[in-house]
């Protein structure tokens, strides 16, 4: 294996989690419920509500694959899942800080956003990442020696 092959080897890759789009599923369920209720009481227009629910579920699947996250031994990359073009990338040696954010609902779903900073004006956000603490640890393990391998303690 050449050095170039080793540098481009993918250590981790993922799409945003299905749970990241739970709000779309919620509205799809509401639309479907309304369609079912319209059907049960014999009101017109139930077909539109069911079709709307199906469209929302399809939209969630399309949007989920819009971004694919990749971690190689040298770079963190956000790539378009459809065109395979890079949307954003950071060299690991440029990273100055890593932060993991989770709200209460995201924590319940086991997802979060990882914010990777390179200087004060540039950052990459990995949204809807499943098990964000594990992914953060993988990124930290590949960092050059200059950045701390442990996240700062919150008191």
Report pLDDT digits (tens) over 46-99.
999 999 999 999 988 898 899 999 999 999 999 999 999 999 999 999 999 999
What's the confidence (pLDDT) of residue 75? 93
Backbone angles phi, psi at 44, to 5 degrees: -70, 155
Cα 93 vs. chain centroid, distance in angstroms?
Answer: 23
What's the confidence (pLDDT) of residue 5? 46
Tell me which residue has tokens 């709307």.
52
Closest CA to 76 of 1, 135, 121, 132: 135
Per residue in 39-54, is it b (16+ CB within 10 Å) or e — as a string?
eeeeeeebeebbebbe
Per residue in 55-65, is it b (16+ CB within 10 Å) or e — as a string?
ebbeebeeebe
Both tokens of 152, joined, read 């700062």
Q: Which residues neighbour 79 within 8 Å (Cβ) at sequence distance 6 or greater?
A: 67, 68, 69, 70, 85, 86, 87
Q: What is the pTM of this model?
A: 0.79
């Amino acid at each position: 294996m050449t050095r170039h092959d080793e540098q481009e080897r993918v250590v981790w890759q993922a799409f945003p989690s299905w749970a990241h789009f739970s709000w779309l599923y919620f509205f799809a369920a509401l639309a479907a419920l309304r369609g079912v209720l319209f059907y049960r009481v014999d009101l017109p227009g139930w077909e539109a509500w069911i079709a709307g629910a199906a469209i929302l579920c399809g939209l969630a699947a399309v949007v989920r694959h819009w971004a694919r996250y990749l971690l190689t031994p040298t770079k963190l990359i956000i790539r378009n899942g459809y065109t395979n073009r890079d949307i954003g990338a950071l060299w690991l040696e440029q990273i100055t800080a890593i932060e993991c954010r989770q709200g209460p609902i995201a924590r319940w779903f086991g997802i979060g956003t990882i914010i990777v900073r390179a200087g004060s004006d540039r950052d990459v956000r990995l949204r809807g990442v499943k098990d964000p603490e594990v992914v953060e640890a993988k990124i930290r393990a590949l960092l050059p020696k200059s950045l701390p391998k442990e996240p700062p303690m919150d008191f």
